[in-house]
Amino acid sequence: MKRCIFGIITLLINISFAFGQNNCDCSNRYQSEIFSNVNVQTVTYSDPHNLQMDIYTPQGDNCSNRPLIIFAHGGTFIFGTKSNSSMVTLCETFAKRGYVTASINYKLAGDIVGFLQSFTYYTDTESAYEVVLNAVSDGKAAVRYFRKDVAENGNTFGIDQNQIWAGGNSAGGVLFLHVGHVQTSEEFTDPLDPMRADIANDILNSVGGIEGNSGNEGYSSSLSGVISLGGALHRSEYVDNLDIPSVFCHGDSDGVVPYDCNGFQNNSNYDQLCGGGALSPVFESYGIDTDLLTFAGDGHCPWDASSSKMNQVISFVSDFVFDHLDCNTVFIDENKIAKELLYKSDVLGRSLQSNAKGLIFEVYKDGTTQKKMILK
């Protein structure tokens, strides 16, 4: 009887801590910040091109099947880094909600066409394709990096490889929209006129096809969904009925990446981009889950300069992604818990057998309790 009472008291004292730290299901995570701090680790995800990304994980979290969101910075493919303030804000915020997040560096125009041409690459179709397709190659390698880590390194970052989302700001949104919605070289070239198709084919052949040559070959680059913050696709025809959910935030007076379909900088002489205002209805027409947050009267990525608008973006994106999470598989990595188990109990503090299934509470010698769902 004493042990039963002790179990209930311990449970009441520690359940909120244990539940917040160790329960991986959707009832307690992902919608609001439940962790105070995050850990950040920098890794090289592309050995061929020496590209790094910062990986953010919730500090003190023991879950080992967390959804992953990979972000890419903006900067017109000319400048920017993984440490851009908007990327840090997004990565920290979603990691504190229980996700694993990452912010990547990718090859920029200066790396591809040289410093002088990097400032005008978008005026030339060949240069534009070369820059963007190289960046897409990097984005796909970043996704593959995590699946390779799961297969070869025992899942260092505790992700669910079946729940990988990716997105970004401006150019980063362009990058990951193409990663998510263009799966073959033919899919990229089919909607293009013959001249552009020939140029694109030459470049795709030089970079190893749509999957690219940025490393981690042999693993899938598929995504569960895309987050576009002022991004665009080169052609709306890239969307079809087999595509994945995508969420868009876009200013309808964007003078850089068009809200609808137009040339870059709304200049019809430049290659076409189709922003959130054009793409979201296409997704809807195919019955694919999508949502669009329009910033009426605003220009390019207004959330970069406004914390209140950034909070709107975070709330909007968070709700969309949360609605698409698969939280049916829950387990804890027990190898990370080096504590002496006293006994297992049910919610009333009654002792359970060691092979008990369902909702159980493990009471440890140090006085802590962990709540677990043991699947049958």
Give the tens place of pLDDT for each residue, 220-262.
999 999 999 999 999 999 999 999 999 999 999 999 999 999 9
CB-count exposure of residue 369 (10 Å: 0-12, 13-18, 19+):
buried
Q: Which of 18-27, 47-56, 72-81 has the lowest mean pLDDT?
A: 18-27
**What was the pLDDT predicted at 63?**
92
Backbone φ and ψ for 256, nearest 5 degrees, come out as -110, -65
For residues 176 and 171, what is the distance between their CA atoms, to the nearest angstrom? 9
Q: Which of 35-39, 220-224, 360-364 has the lowest mean pLDDT?
A: 360-364
For residues 131 and 118, what is the distance between their CA atoms, to the nearest angstrom? 9
* Beta-sheet pairing, 38-46 with 66-72: unpaired
Cα distance from N-terminal residue to C-terminal residue, the chain: 29
Average pLDDT value over all residues in the chain: 88
> Which tops the pLDDT comparison, 27 or 163?
163
* CA–centroid distance for 119 within its chain: 28
Could you report the per-residue pLDDT of 85-100, keeping only the tens digit for each?
Answer: 999 999 999 999 999 9
Could you report the per-residue pLDDT of 150-161, keeping only the tens digit for each?
Answer: 999 999 999 999
For residues 231 and 18, what is the distance between their CA atoms, to the nearest angstrom? 39
> Which tops the pLDDT comparison, 361 or 306?
306
For residues 158 and 309, what is the distance between their CA atoms, to the nearest angstrom? 31
Question: Pick from 266, 254, 252: which is nearest to 296 by CA?
Answer: 252
Question: What mean pLDDT is predicted for residues 199-214?
Answer: 96
Could you report the per-residue pLDDT of 281-336, keeping only the tens digit for each?
Answer: 999 999 999 999 999 999 999 999 999 999 999 999 999 999 999 873 344 444 43
**What was the pLDDT predicted at 344?**
76
- Indicate the pTM of the whole model: 0.82
**What was the pLDDT predicted at 333?**
43
CA distances from 296 to 153, 228, 229, 251, 337 (A): 46, 17, 15, 6, 50
